[in-house]
Amino acid sequence: MRVSREEVNRVITTLNFRHEEGTVIAVIQDAETGEVLMVGNMNEEAVRKTLETGYTHLWSLSRKTLWKKGETSGNYQLVKEVVVDCDGDAILVKVKPMGPACHTGNRTCFFKVALQRNSV
Protein backbone atom coordinates (compact mmCIF):
# COMPACT_ATOMS: atom_id res chain seq x y z
CA MET A 1 0.00 0.00 0.00
CA ARG A 2 1.51 3.27 -1.13
CA VAL A 3 -0.57 6.41 -1.12
CA SER A 4 -0.34 9.88 -2.58
CA ARG A 5 1.07 12.86 -0.68
CA GLU A 6 -2.46 14.29 -0.44
CA GLU A 7 -3.75 11.09 1.16
CA VAL A 8 -0.77 11.02 3.55
CA ASN A 9 -1.49 14.60 4.62
CA ARG A 10 -5.18 13.80 5.10
CA VAL A 11 -4.36 10.88 7.40
CA ILE A 12 -1.83 12.92 9.38
CA THR A 13 -4.37 15.69 10.01
CA THR A 14 -6.69 13.11 11.64
CA LEU A 15 -4.03 12.13 14.17
CA ASN A 16 -3.65 13.59 17.64
CA PHE A 17 0.10 13.32 18.29
CA ARG A 18 0.91 13.42 22.01
CA HIS A 19 2.64 16.69 22.80
CA GLU A 20 5.50 15.34 24.93
CA GLU A 21 6.75 12.71 22.51
CA GLY A 22 4.95 13.84 19.37
CA THR A 23 3.78 10.27 18.77
CA VAL A 24 0.70 8.08 18.53
CA ILE A 25 0.42 4.45 19.61
CA ALA A 26 0.83 2.06 16.67
CA VAL A 27 -0.77 -1.38 16.87
CA ILE A 28 0.59 -3.73 14.23
CA GLN A 29 -1.81 -6.52 13.27
CA ASP A 30 -1.60 -9.42 10.82
CA ALA A 31 -4.05 -8.44 8.06
CA GLU A 32 -4.94 -12.06 7.33
CA THR A 33 -5.31 -13.59 10.81
CA GLY A 34 -6.12 -10.52 12.93
CA GLU A 35 -3.36 -11.46 15.40
CA VAL A 36 -1.69 -8.51 17.13
CA LEU A 37 1.99 -8.73 16.23
CA MET A 38 3.49 -5.78 18.09
CA VAL A 39 2.86 -2.33 19.50
CA GLY A 40 5.11 0.68 19.01
CA ASN A 41 5.05 4.42 18.49
CA MET A 42 4.84 6.54 15.37
CA ASN A 43 5.69 10.19 15.01
CA GLU A 44 4.61 12.16 11.95
CA GLU A 45 7.67 11.06 9.97
CA ALA A 46 7.03 7.37 10.75
CA VAL A 47 3.39 7.66 9.65
CA ARG A 48 4.46 9.49 6.50
CA LYS A 49 7.15 6.90 5.63
CA THR A 50 4.79 4.00 6.36
CA LEU A 51 2.14 5.38 4.02
CA GLU A 52 4.56 6.52 1.31
CA THR A 53 6.63 3.31 1.16
CA GLY A 54 4.10 0.64 2.10
CA TYR A 55 6.40 -0.72 4.84
CA THR A 56 6.01 -0.29 8.61
CA HIS A 57 8.17 2.48 10.10
CA LEU A 58 8.23 3.27 13.82
CA TRP A 59 9.71 5.88 16.13
CA SER A 60 11.91 4.60 18.95
CA LEU A 61 11.18 6.57 22.13
CA SER A 62 14.36 5.31 23.80
CA ARG A 63 16.75 5.84 20.87
CA LYS A 64 14.91 8.90 19.51
CA THR A 65 15.21 7.59 15.97
CA LEU A 66 13.08 6.43 13.06
CA TRP A 67 13.38 2.78 12.09
CA LYS A 68 11.96 0.55 9.40
CA LYS A 69 10.67 -2.77 10.71
CA GLY A 70 12.89 -5.49 9.25
CA GLU A 71 15.82 -3.26 8.31
CA THR A 72 18.25 -5.46 10.25
CA SER A 73 16.35 -8.78 10.46
CA GLY A 74 14.80 -8.85 6.99
CA ASN A 75 11.39 -9.38 8.62
CA TYR A 76 9.65 -6.54 6.82
CA GLN A 77 5.94 -5.82 7.12
CA LEU A 78 3.96 -4.95 3.99
CA VAL A 79 1.17 -2.52 4.86
CA LYS A 80 -2.28 -3.58 3.67
CA GLU A 81 -4.57 -1.17 5.56
CA VAL A 82 -4.33 1.70 8.04
CA VAL A 83 -7.11 2.59 10.50
CA VAL A 84 -7.18 5.50 12.97
CA ASP A 85 -9.08 5.23 16.27
CA CYS A 86 -11.93 7.55 17.22
CA ASP A 87 -9.70 9.94 19.22
CA GLY A 88 -6.91 10.00 16.67
CA ASP A 89 -4.32 9.01 19.26
CA ALA A 90 -3.74 5.46 18.02
CA ILE A 91 -3.21 3.92 14.61
CA LEU A 92 -3.87 0.32 13.57
CA VAL A 93 -1.56 -0.91 10.83
CA LYS A 94 -2.69 -4.14 9.19
CA VAL A 95 0.25 -5.88 7.55
CA LYS A 96 1.47 -8.93 5.73
CA PRO A 97 4.46 -10.00 7.87
CA MET A 98 7.53 -11.25 6.04
CA GLY A 99 8.77 -13.13 9.11
CA PRO A 100 8.56 -12.93 12.90
CA ALA A 101 7.56 -9.57 14.37
CA CYS A 102 9.39 -9.98 17.67
CA HIS A 103 13.12 -9.44 18.10
CA THR A 104 13.12 -12.74 20.07
CA GLY A 105 12.19 -14.64 16.92
CA ASN A 106 8.57 -15.20 17.97
CA ARG A 107 5.83 -14.55 15.44
CA THR A 108 4.29 -11.97 17.79
CA CYS A 109 5.63 -9.90 20.67
CA PHE A 110 2.61 -11.10 22.71
CA PHE A 111 3.66 -14.60 23.74
CA LYS A 112 4.09 -14.21 27.52
CA VAL A 113 0.87 -15.19 29.29
CA ALA A 114 0.43 -12.85 32.27
CA LEU A 115 -2.95 -14.10 33.44
CA GLN A 116 -5.18 -16.93 32.35
CA ARG A 117 -8.47 -18.07 33.85
CA ASN A 118 -10.03 -21.40 33.06
CA SER A 119 -13.55 -20.50 34.14
CA VAL A 120 -15.79 -17.60 33.27
What average pLDDT does the structure give for the chain? 94
Per-residue pLDDT, averaged over 62-90, amounts to: 96
Domain 5-97: give its CATH code.
Answer: 3.10.20.810
Q: In what order do the strands lie in the sheet with 90-97?
A: 36-43, 23-30, 90-97, 77-84
pLDDT in tens, 4-45: 999 999 999 999 998 788 999 999 999 999 999 999 999 999
Secondary structure of the chain: what % helix, strand, coil (to 5)?
Answer: 15, 35, 50
Predicted confidence band at 120 (pLDDT cuts at 50, 70, 90)? Answer: low
The answer to whether 67 touches 77, Cβ cutoff 8 Å, is no
**pLDDT score recorded for residue 2:** 80
